């Protein structure tokens, strides 16, 4: 059984059909749709009114995007994997909302005869203080039993130079953050994509995988939580990119 469907079977991840979601909206119910794909995918077509929040960003941005605990949250993607893991991330992190994934994502929406919306109509912004506090509290619950190793930059660089073993230095922040500044030798590998299609980046069996994030580490810890369940050897490197930007300036 594929990993994501095994998680769904184990956890009983709640699911909502396109017809039910539309009925909620037509009735004026409080519901937020979070599209967990990359922003370029989101722009090409998404459920009308959905907010683009790639999977690894969900906890980090949740407190700013979802207005209150009574609002239903539906996580969408193009099909199933990223939506299931996105929804289960929020559930396991203990957010107070009712959370489900959209059955078959945008494909399920169009198969039901509904139109998609295009363009970057609504996406995440920089998280505010309340959102950061919310994310820190809930990532602690999600990752409570993960026992993930945290390493420093020197260790990561030594591993990367080891001729006998492959080490991936993967920056799981947004592509925009990576472009603004990153550690030498690291690769931009948006965390949400690693959650759904890790094989596209981690191609060497038995490799060490170092997830690089800012000092909060919300995204790295989210990705590590699921990749460790797939038996990847994971370590996390947290770096103060803001300090580096100030020094460069």
Helix, strand, or coil (residue 188): strand
Strand, coil or helix: 13: coil
Strand, coil or helix: 123: strand
pLDDT at residue number 18: 98
| Ranges of H-type helices in 72-217 | 81-92, 105-111, 129-142, 153-161, 175-180, 191-197
The model's pLDDT over 102-145, given as tens digits with 9 standing for 90+, comes to 999 999 999 999 999 999 999 999 999 999 999 999 999 999 99
Is residue 248 predicted with pLDDT exceeding 60?
A: no
Whole-number pLDDT of residue 242: 85
| pLDDT of 9 over the 80 cut | yes
- Above 70 in pLDDT, residue 245? no
What is the C-alpha to C-alpha distance for residues 87 and 101, in angstroms, rounded to an integer? 6
Q: How far is CA 1 from CA 4, 5, 142, in A?
A: 8, 7, 24
Residue 73, classified by CB atoms within 10 Å of its CB into exposed (0-12), middle (13-18) or buried (19+), is buried
Label residue 249 by pLDDT band (50, 70, 90): very low
Q: Where are the alpha helices (DSSP H) in 34-128?
A: 39-44, 58-65, 81-92, 105-111
Mean pLDDT of 4-24: 96
What CA–CA distances, in Å, run from 43 to 21, 28, 119, 144? Answer: 20, 25, 4, 35
Cβ-contact 82, 90 below 8 angstroms: no
CA-to-CA dists, residue 235 to 4, 95, 122, 208, angstroms: 22, 26, 33, 8
Quick check: 247 pLDDT over 60?
no
Mean pLDDT of the chain: 95
Q: Tell me the β-bridge partners of 235.
A: 149, 210
**Contact in structure between 195 and 82 (CB atoms under 8 Å):** yes
pLDDT in tens, 29-47: 999 999 999 999 999 999 9
Residue-wise pLDDT for 88-105, tens only, equals 999 999 999 999 999 999
What domains are there in the chain, each with its CATH number? 3-142 (3.40.250.10), 149-248 (3.40.250.10)
For residues 120 and 93, the answer to whether their CB atoms sit within 8 Å is no
- Say what the pLDDT of residue 196 is: 80
Residue 201's alpha-carbon distances to 44, 53, 190, in angstroms, are 23, 21, 10
Q: What is the pTM of this model?
A: 0.94
């Amino acid at each position: 059984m594929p990993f994501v469907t095994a998680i769904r079977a184990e956890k009983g991840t709640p699911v909502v059909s396109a017809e039910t979601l539309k009925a909620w909206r037509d009735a004026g119910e409080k519901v937020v749709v979070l599209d967990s794909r990359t922003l370029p995918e989101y722009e090409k077509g998404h459920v009308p009114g959905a907010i683009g929040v790639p999977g690894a960003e969900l906890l980090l941005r949740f407190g700013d995007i979802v207005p209150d605990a009574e609002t239903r949250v539906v996580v969408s993607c193009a099909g199933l994997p990223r939506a299931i893991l996105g929804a289960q991330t929020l559930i396991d992190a203990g957010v107070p909302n009712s959370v489900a994934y959209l059955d078959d994502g945008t494909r399920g929406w169009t198969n039901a005869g509904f139109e998609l919306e295009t363009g970057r109509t609504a996406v995440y912004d920089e998280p505010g203080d309340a959102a950061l506090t919310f994310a820190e509290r809930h990532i602690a619950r999600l990752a409570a039993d993960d026992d993930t190793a945290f390493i420093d930059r020197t260790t990561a660089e030594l591993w990367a130079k080891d001729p006998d073993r492959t080490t991936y230095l993967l920056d799981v922040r947004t592509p925009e953050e990576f472009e603004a500044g990153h550690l030498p030798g690291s690769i931009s590998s948006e965390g949400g994509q690693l959650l759904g299609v890790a094989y596209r980046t981690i191609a060497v069996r038995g490799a060490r995988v170092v997830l690089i994030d800012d000092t909060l580490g919300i995204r790295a810890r989210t990705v590590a939580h699921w990749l460790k369940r797939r038996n990847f050897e994971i370590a996390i490197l947290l770096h103060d990119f803001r300090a580096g930007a100030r020094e460069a300036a």
